Chain A
């Protein structure tokens, strides 16, 4: 059976100083893949390419057997590092904006908003202004925005980076709760995010994939960052 996402030879940026250089990756349905790497390793660039914002200079991306940017934009939900919301609008209005961006008509929009609010348990705050939400609640809003169109793949860029330990635990739980209906690619530099959410981890360094392996209780992630790297990509 074909993987849900198949990436081959993905390159981004100036050929002399590429931001991504020749990444190959497969993602199966229901996978929760972690992208682990230091700051500037290329994790965010990789997610932006998948979100259809950055253009690859070479390589191919196939999602559910489909090629092209529009296919990516329809099948992928993206939670950027900084939640993209209008602080002067309510949670519901922000979700309405996301639904409008996906072209939902009024009736479908209302359904999608209710479903997204329920998925991240944000119903009680639906009428709260986004600017008045705590960091954790804003992250839930971002997650609801990413899920509004029922994507096949959820891209999460450092979803717990700015949260306190309790909010971090709640967001991790919420992400795990989505795993039945959506495949997840999570970019992070936090080992705990990988251990608690992901089944697989791909180590990214200098714009290339160093390794890709299952997450096991005895996996020593630190070892990938202490030993000298050879032949990234």
Chain B
């Protein structure tokens, strides 16, 4: 039943020009970033082979490009979500959602998974572009697949955060602002605080960068699972409260 609503969300997203525009821009950006990294790598490749630093294309091309893809997703997914439940209220459709016989959990998870599915074309088309490098240089496919797997988890987390925050307001712009504010804060957090501080756990990038370096840690998955589930649970609570079920 959740899939029925997720499919509706995916159809709604792809019916708009915004999705195709974001997809095209993402492709352009990723291709440009990839070539820029490749050019830099080609310049320093002779020194690398003599220095014995052990750094290769995976570290100097793929990992930074995946890092840029994270930022692109942070900007794209809230736009694809188009304000989530806040916009439904603004457009007068929330009444239909709230008055449906579906449970609040189905309504929320349907939207979260729908947004996740809508983000997958961005992720996989970018991954394909990046993977094309693998035909020209030494490429660690397992490490790349691990990083891609973590990005899939990250995309699901991102969808839960965007939908969760959209239940806090009735204004599309406010929902988008909150999503960008929260995500960019988490994205930049590791630059501001000491790695030994307890708050460092909330910083977004360290949880992804370790995977890009080929290190799959349970604590990173736990971060995305726990905070994503909390965002989804919060959204369910908010919707149930609006429906007078609490």
Interface residues of A (CB under 8 A from B): 48, 51-55, 69-70, 73-74, 76, 78, 80-86, 88-89, 93, 96-98, 100-103, 145
- Which of the listed residues B4, B7, B93 has the most CB atoms from chain A within 10 Å of its own CB? B4
Give the contacting residue for B244; candidates A55, A81, A88, A145; CB below 8 A.
A55
Q: Within 8 Å of chain A (Cβ to Cβ): is B217?
A: no
Pull 16 A–B residue pairs with CB atoms less than 8 Å apart, ordered by A: A48-B95, A51-B95, A52-B98, A53-B95, A55-B244, A74-B101, A78-B96, A84-B91, A86-B93, A88-B15, A89-B11, A97-B8, A100-B8, A101-B97, A101-B101, A102-B101
Query: CB distance A145 to B16 under 8 Å?
Result: no
0/1 string, B88-100, CB within 8 A of A gives 1: 0001110111111
Roughly how many angstroms separate A76 CA and B244 CA in the complex, as a whole number? 17
Query: CB distance A103 to B96 under 8 Å?
Result: no
Give the contacting residue for A102; candidates B91, B100, B243; CB below 8 A.
B100
> Nearest Cβ distance between residue B166 and chain A, in whole angstroms?
16
Query: CB distance B4 to A69 under 8 Å?
Result: no
Roughly how many angstroms separate A73 CA and B11 CA in the complex, as a whole number? 25
> Nearest Cβ distance between residue A185 and chain B, in whole angstroms?
14
Q: Within 8 Å of chain A (Cβ to Cβ): is B143?
A: no
Roughly how many angstroms separate A76 CA and B242 CA in the complex, as a whole number? 19
Starting from the known contacts A54-B244, A88-B16, A100-B7, 11 additional A-B residue pairs (CB-CB under 8 Å) come to A48-B95, A69-B243, A73-B99, A80-B92, A83-B92, A84-B92, A85-B93, A86-B12, A89-B12, A93-B11, A100-B8
Residues of B within 8 A of A96 (CB): 8
Residues of A within 8 A of B96 (CB): 78, 80, 84, 98, 101, 145
Roughly how many angstroms separate A101 CA and B15 CA in the complex, as a whole number? 19
0/1 string, B64-92, CB within 8 A of A gives 1: 00000000000000000000000000011
Give the contacting residue for A69; candidates B1, B91, B97, B245; CB below 8 A.
B245
> Nearest Cβ distance between residue A43 and chain B, in whole angstroms?
15
Size bracket, chain B contacts: 20 to 34
Q: Within 8 Å of chain A (Cβ to Cβ): is B5?
A: yes
Residues of A within 8 A of B101 (CB): 70, 73-74, 101-103
Query: CB distance A53 to B12 under 8 Å?
Result: no
Query: CB distance B102 to A89 under 8 Å?
Result: no
Query: CB distance B99 to A53 under 8 Å?
Result: yes
Residues of B within 8 A of A54 (CB): 244
Roughly how many angstroms separate A119 CA and B211 CA in the complex, as a whole number? 56
Query: CB distance B8 to A53 under 8 Å?
Result: no
Residues of A within 8 A of B244 (CB): 53-55, 69
Roughly how many angstroms separate A34 CA and B208 CA in the complex, as a whole number? 60
Query: CB distance A101 to B95 under 8 Å?
Result: no
Looking across the interface, which residue of chain A has its beta carbon closest to that of B1?
Answer: A103
Looking across the interface, which residue of chain B has its beta carbon closest to that of A75?
Answer: B101
Query: CB distance B243 to A53 under 8 Å?
Result: yes
Roughly how many angstroms separate A73 CA and B106 CA in the complex, as a whole number? 15
0/1 string, B218-246, CB within 8 A of A gives 1: 00000000000000000000000011110
> Nearest Cβ distance between residue A194 and chain B, in whole angstroms?
23
> Nearest Cβ distance between residue A116 and chain B, in whole angstroms?
14
Residues of B within 8 A of A70 (CB): 101
Roughly how many angstroms separate A93 CA and B7 CA in the complex, as a whole number? 11
Roughly how many angstroms separate A97 CA and B110 CA in the complex, as a whole number? 12
Residues of A within 8 A of B8 (CB): 96-97, 100
Query: CB distance B102 to A103 under 8 Å?
Result: yes
- Which of the listed residues B15, B97, B100, B102 has the most CB atoms from chain A within 10 Å of its own CB? B100
Roughly how many angstroms separate A166 CA and B1 CA in the complex, as a whole number? 40
Say whether, besides A89-B11, A100-B8, A53 and B98 are in contact (CB < 8 Å). yes
> Nearest Cβ distance between residue B2 and chain A, in whole angstroms?
11
Roughly how many angstroms separate A213 CA and B96 CA in the complex, as a whole number? 31
Query: CB distance A100 to B5 under 8 Å?
Result: yes
Query: CB distance B100 to A73 under 8 Å?
Result: yes
Roughly how many angstroms separate A157 CA and B134 CA in the complex, as a whole number? 60
Looking across the interface, which residue of chain B has its beta carbon closest to that of A85?
Answer: B93
Roughly how many angstroms separate A48 CA and B242 CA in the complex, as a whole number? 12
Residues of B within 8 A of A98 (CB): 96
